[in-house]
Chain A
Amino acid sequence: MAIVPKSNDVMTETQPLNIAAIAKDVLFTAILAFLILGPILGLKTFAITGSLALEQRWGMVSVFVAIVAGGRLAYHLLVWNKPQAKPARAISMPTLPVMSFGKYIIPVVLLVAIFLPFLPGVDRRIVDLAILILTYIMLGWGLNIVVGLAGLLDLGYVAFYAVGAYAYALLATIYLPAWFGDGIVPWAFFITLPIAGILAALWGVILGFPVLRLRGDYLAIVTLAFGEIVRVVLINWSDFTGGPAGIGGIPRPSFFGLPFTDGEGGFAAFFGLDFKPIHRIIFLYYVILVLALFTNFVTMRLRRLPVGRAWEALREDEIACRSLGINTTSTKLTAFAIGAMFAGFAGSFFATRQGFVSPESFVFLESFIILAIVVLGGLGSQIGVVIAAIVIIGSFEVFRELNFLKAVMPAGFDPVQYRMLAVGAALVLIMRWKPRGFVTRREPSVILKEKKAIPTDLVAEGHG
Chain B
Amino acid sequence: MEYFLQQLINGITLGSIYGLIAIGYTMVYGIIGMINFAHGDVFMVGGFVSLIAIVALGITGGSGFFPIILALVLVVFIAMIIASAYNWTVERVAYRPLRGSFRLAPLISAIGMSIVLQEFVRIAQDGRPKPLQPIVTGGYEIMSRAAAQGEFIVRLSNMQIFIIITTLILMAIFTAIITRTSLGRAQRSCEQDMKMASLLGIDINKTISITFIMGAALAAVAGLMFFLYYGVTDFYVGFLAGIKAFTAAVLGGIGSIPGAMIGGLIIGLIEVFWSAYFSIEYKDVAAFAMLAAVLIFLPQGILGKPEIEKV
One of A98-106, A249-257, A293-301, A422-430 contacting the partner:
A422-430
Known: A36-B82, A228-B243. A41 touches B124 (CB 8 A): yes
Q: Is the CB of B296 within 8 A of A210?
A: yes
Q: Is the CB of B55 within 8 A of A428?
A: no
Q: Is the CB of B120 within 8 A of A40?
A: yes
A113 interface hit (Cβ, 8 Å): no
A39 interface hit (Cβ, 8 Å): yes
**Given known contacts A52-B132, A217-B33, A319-B311, what 20 new A-B pairs fall within 8 Å (CB)?**
A35-B82, A38-B82, A39-B49, A40-B45, A40-B124, A45-B130, A211-B296, A216-B103, A221-B295, A226-B292, A228-B288, A232-B288, A236-B281, A375-B105, A418-B119, A427-B108, A428-B94, A428-B116, A431-B94, A432-B94
Cα distance, A211 to B293, chains bound together (Å)? 10
- Which residues of chain B are within 8 angstroms of A319 by Cβ–Cβ distance? 309, 311
Other-chain residue from B103, B299, B309 in contact with A214 (beta carbon distance below 8 A): B299
Cα distance, A240 to B109, chains bound together (Å)? 38
Q: Is the CB of A52 within 8 A of B123?
A: no
In angstroms, how far is the closest chain B Cβ from the Cβ of A416?
11
- What residue in chain A is nearest B123 (Cβ atoms)? A417
One of A3-11, A174-182, A364-372 contacting the partner:
A364-372
- What residue in chain A is nearest B311 (Cβ atoms)? A319
B85 interface hit (Cβ, 8 Å): yes
Residues of A within 8 A of B (CB): 32, 35-36, 38-41, 43-47, 50-54, 153, 210-211, 213-214, 216-218, 220-222, 224-226, 228-229, 232-233, 235-236, 319, 364-365, 368, 371-372, 375, 379, 417-418, 420-421, 423-428, 431-432, 435-436, 461
Known: A40-B48, A40-B125, A45-B51. A424 touches B291 (CB 8 A): no
Q: Is the CB of A40 within 8 A of B112?
A: no
In angstroms, how far is the closest chain A Cβ from the Cβ of B232?
11
- Which residues of chain B are within 8 angstroms of A41 by Cβ–Cβ distance? 124
Q: Is the CB of A225 within 8 A of B133?
A: no
In angstroms, how far is the closest chain B Cβ from the Cβ of A407?
20
In angstroms, how far is the closest chain B Cβ from the Cβ of A313?
15
Known: A371-B108, A379-B104, A421-B119. A52 touches B55 (CB 8 A): yes
Number of interface residues of B (CB under 8 A): 69
- Which residues of chain A are within 8 angstroms of B51 by Cβ–Cβ distance? 45, 52
Q: Is the CB of A435 within 8 A of B102?
A: yes
- Which residues of chain B are within 8 angstroms of A51 by Cβ–Cβ distance? 132-133
| A and B contact pairs by CB, cutoff 8 A, 30 listed | A35-B85, A38-B82, A39-B82, A40-B121, A41-B124, A43-B56, A44-B126, A45-B52, A45-B55, A46-B126, A51-B132, A217-B34, A220-B107, A221-B246, A221-B250, A225-B243, A226-B292, A232-B285, A232-B288, A236-B279, A236-B281, A319-B311, A371-B108, A379-B104, A424-B113, A426-B112, A428-B113, A431-B112, A435-B98, A461-B104
Other-chain residue from A46, A214, A375, A461 in contact with B295 (beta carbon distance below 8 A): A214
Cα distance, A425 to B108, chains bound together (Å)? 11
Q: Is the CB of B121 within 8 A of A423?
A: no
Other-chain residue from B52, B131, B239, B292 in contact with A39 (beta carbon distance below 8 A): B52
Other-chain residue from B105, B246, B281 in contact with A431 (beta carbon distance below 8 A): B105
In angstroms, how far is the closest chain A Cβ from the Cβ of B71?
16
- Which residues of chain B are within 8 angstroms of A218 by Cβ–Cβ distance? 250, 295, 299
The 9 closest A-B pairs by CB, nearest first: A424-B115, A427-B112, A435-B105, A225-B288, A421-B119, A424-B116, A35-B85, A431-B109, A236-B281
B162 interface hit (Cβ, 8 Å): no
Q: Is the CB of B285 within 8 A of A213?
A: no
B180 interface hit (Cβ, 8 Å): no
Interface residues of B, dominant DSSP: helix
Other-chain residue from B49, B78, B98, B121 in contact with A432 (beta carbon distance below 8 A): B98
B3 interface hit (Cβ, 8 Å): no
- Which residues of chain A are within 8 angstroms of B29 by Cβ–Cβ distance? 217
Known: A54-B55, A421-B119. A213 touches B296 (CB 8 A): yes
Q: Is the CB of A54 within 8 A of B292?
A: no
- Which residues of chain A are within 8 angstroms of B191 by Cβ–Cβ distance? none
In angstroms, how far is the closest chain A Cβ from the Cβ of B129?
10
- Which residues of chain A are within 8 angstroms of B130 by Cβ–Cβ distance? 45, 47, 52
In angstroms, how far is the closest chain A Cβ from the Cβ of B63?
14
- Which residues of chain A are within 8 angstroms of B295 by Cβ–Cβ distance? 211, 214, 218, 221-222
Q: Is the CB of B97 within 8 A of A432?
A: yes
B81 interface hit (Cβ, 8 Å): yes
Q: Is the CB of A224 within 8 A of B243?
A: yes
Other-chain residue from B108, B124, B131, B284 in contact with A372 (beta carbon distance below 8 A): B108
Cα distance, A335 to B281, chains bound together (Å)? 32
Residues 39-60 (chain B) with a chain A CB within 8 angstroms: 45, 48-49, 51-53, 55-56
- What residue in chain A is nearest B51 (Cβ atoms)? A45
B289 interface hit (Cβ, 8 Å): yes
Q: Is the CB of B89 within 8 A of A32?
A: yes
Q: Is the CB of B291 within 8 A of A428?
A: no
B18 interface hit (Cβ, 8 Å): no
Q: Is the CB of B104 within 8 A of A153?
A: yes
In angstroms, how far is the closest chain A Cβ from the Cβ of B58?
10
B176 interface hit (Cβ, 8 Å): no
Other-chain residue from A214, A221, A365, A421 in contact with B120 (beta carbon distance below 8 A): A421
Cα distance, A421 to B35, chains bound together (Å)? 21
Other-chain residue from A214, A420, A431 in contact with B98 (beta carbon distance below 8 A): A431
Known: A36-B86, A461-B103. A229 touches B288 (CB 8 A): yes
Q: Is the CB of A217 within 8 A of B94?
A: no
B177 interface hit (Cβ, 8 Å): no
- Which residues of chain B are within 8 angstroms of A36 by Cβ–Cβ distance? 82, 85-86, 89
Q: Is the CB of A54 within 8 A of B113?
A: no
B111 interface hit (Cβ, 8 Å): yes
- Which residues of chain B are within 8 angstroms of A222 by Cβ–Cβ distance? 291-292, 295-296
- Which residues of chain A are within 8 angstroms of B239 by Cβ–Cβ distance? 364
Other-chain residue from A40, A153, A214, A435 in contact with B296 (beta carbon distance below 8 A): A214
B101 interface hit (Cβ, 8 Å): yes
Q: Is the CB of B289 within 8 A of A428?
A: no
B282 interface hit (Cβ, 8 Å): yes
Residues 267-311 (chain B) with a chain A CB within 8 angstroms: 279, 281-282, 284-285, 288-289, 291-292, 295-296, 299, 309, 311
- Which residues of chain A are within 8 angstroms of B113 by Cβ–Cβ distance? 424, 428
- Which residues of chain A are within 8 angstroms of B78 by Cβ–Cβ distance? 39
Cα distance, A364 to B238, chains bound together (Å)? 13
Cα distance, A435 to B33, chains bound together (Å)? 18
